[in-house]
């Protein structure tokens, strides 16, 4: 098991560049199966989940060539329509290979996907959408999908704006016959980026950036070259960690549109960030106080579908709140286990009350002390790294590989910002 050792008490200062988007690259790799031509992806983050998805491509008979942040993928022929149980267990987005495999072979077999243990994570949107288009599924330990004739466009309404569900059904709809209307679709930046990539491959998707997608099906797609958008969750994580340590940083490679709600949340925690066309600045020496609501009430920071505050940003903001004077309630509406890591913060000295699986009240500012921690999931792991950076003494964060599933070159980036961190295998 790999660990991070952190000597806390050092403000993060300097410049860090945002990596390619984790939640965009994973479905994009699956989308490469839709064509027998070469697809080149640029700005690909070197994270563990992306490596597993690329391994999946080779397992079904595809070719993968990587040079730095540039990856070439070609699935000229598909030698198997079954994704092994081992790979399905490693990465949740293995389920998203079903639609491309149906298009290429008429069938697909996958196993229950792995991923973070943050509560129940429904697959209903995936099944509903594919069945509306004409696919059938048999569940008996594995998920066995089949086509009995061509997939046909349909009008559908999702009971939740599932990100992966929207992306997956979108991949099936673009190669279905006729028109598909997807209502209550997710529209996060990474969903938009996948849609733009599919259009560059010959798909006909309109309504990108809204919750109503209109797709005119095409018989086939072709290759393309596409640059993956930056990771706004990663960028906000570094901003939160820097603010918590009293630091001063600039995050390069960002854009404006992904941070309007993020800035509102930072402002609630008394943090001022400056949004620019291609970077975000956090100035130092800020006195952090929770901004109460206008009627004097304790503010509530809740998550929700885009353009609301992203659930993946919640954990690092909770760590930041422990270093802000005042009271704030966090309301995690999407996953009932996301907040379990707060118990680790309490063991370090954080003044927090876990009201129920979805709500936690943070009262700051708290003096944190070093301890040994275990990373339970990607985002909580990054939040615990942030707590260790704030704490007095040397902390150990175990299960470092969990964090590296979603954050690229963590040790290198934090060292570049002045952190005292060492990775040990």
The residues annotated as belonging to the active site are 116
Show the CA angle centred on residue 90, arms to residues 395 and 345, nearest 5°: 25
Give the number of other CB atoms < 10 A from CB of residue 285: 8
Q: Which of 137, 145, 142, 136 has its CA nearest to residue 113?
A: 142
What is d(CA 155, CA 161) in angstroms, rounded to the nearest whole number?
15
Query: Peptide bond preceding 307: is omega within 30 degrees of 0, i.e. cis?
Result: yes
What is d(CA 158, CA 87) in angstroms, rounded to the nearest whole number?
28
What is d(CA 185, CA 188) in angstroms, rounded to the nearest whole number?
10
DSSP class per residue in 262-306: HHHHHHHTT--EEE-SSEEEE-SS---B----TTSPPPEEE--ST
What is d(CA 313, CA 334) in angstroms, rounded to the nearest whole number?
12
Give the number of other CB atoms < 10 A from CB of residue 343: 12
H helix or E strand, kind and range, residue 352? strand 352-356
Cα→Cα distances 189→18, 21, 141, 195, 362, Å: 14, 9, 34, 10, 29
Q: Contact 354/379 with Cβ under 8 angstroms?
A: no
DSSP class per residue in 72-123: EEE-SS-S-SB--HHHHHH-GGGGGGHHHHHHHHSEEEE-------SS----
Which ranges of 163-273 would DSSP assign to H, the alpha helix?
163-173, 189-200, 232-244, 260-268
Query: Peptide bond preceding 72: is omega within 30 degrees of 0, i.e. cis?
Result: no
CA within 13 Å, CB half, 352? 28
Q: Which of 234, 232, 247 has its CA nearest to residue 390?
A: 247
């Amino acid at each position: 098991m790999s660990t991070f050792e952190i000597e806390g008490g050092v403000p993060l200062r300097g410049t860090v560049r945002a990596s390619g988007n984790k939640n965009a690259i994973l479905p994009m790799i699956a989308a490469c199966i839709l064509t027998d031509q070469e697809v080149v992806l640029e700005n690909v983050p070197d994270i563990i989940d992306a490596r597993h998805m690329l391994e999946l491509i080779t397992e079904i008979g595809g070719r993968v060539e990587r040079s730095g942040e540039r990856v070439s993928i070609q699935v000229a022929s598909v030698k198997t329509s079954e994704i092994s149980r081992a790979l399905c267990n490693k990465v949740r987005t293995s389920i998203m290979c079903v639609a491309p495999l149906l298009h290429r072979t008429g069938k697909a077999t996958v196993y229950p996907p792995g991923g973070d243990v943050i509560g129940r994570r429904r697959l209903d949107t995936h099944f509903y959408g594919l069945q509306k288009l004409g696919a059938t599924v048999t569940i008996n330990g594995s998920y066995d999908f089949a086509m009995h004739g061509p997939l046909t466009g349909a009008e559908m309404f999702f009971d939740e704006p599932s990100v992966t569900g929207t992306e997956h059904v979108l991949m099936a709809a673009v190669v279905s016959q006729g028109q598909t209307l997807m209502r209550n679709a997710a529209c996060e930046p990474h969903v938009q980026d996948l849609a733009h990539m599919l259009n560059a491959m010959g798909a006909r998707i309109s309504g990108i950036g809204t919750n109503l997608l209109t797709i005119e099906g095409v018989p086939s797609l072709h290759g393309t070259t596409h640059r993956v958008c930056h990771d706004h969750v990663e960028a906000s994580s570094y901003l939160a960690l820097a603010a918590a340590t009293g630091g001063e940083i600039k995050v390069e490679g960002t854009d404006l549109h992904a941070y309007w709600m993020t800035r509102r949340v930072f402002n609630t925690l008394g943090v001022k960030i400056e949004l620019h066309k291609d970077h975000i600045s956090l100035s130092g020496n800020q006195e952090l106080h929770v901004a109460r609501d206008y009627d004097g009430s304790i503010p509530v920071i809740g998550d929700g579908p885009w353009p609301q505050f992203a659930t993946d940003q919640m954990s690092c903001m909770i760590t930041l709140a422990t270093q802000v004077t005042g009271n704030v309630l966090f309301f995690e509406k999407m996953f009932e286990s996301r907040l379990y890591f707060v118990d680790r913060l309490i063991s370090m000295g954080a003044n927090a009350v876990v009201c129920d699986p979805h709500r936690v009240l943070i009262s700051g500012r708290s003096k944190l002390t070093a301890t040994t921690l275990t990373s339970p999931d990607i985002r909580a792991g990054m939040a615990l790294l942030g707590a260790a950076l704030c704490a007095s003494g040397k902390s150990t964060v175990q299960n470092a590989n969990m964090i590296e599933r979603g954050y690229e070159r963590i040790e290198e980036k934090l060292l570049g910002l002045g952190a005292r961190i060492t990775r040990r295998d």
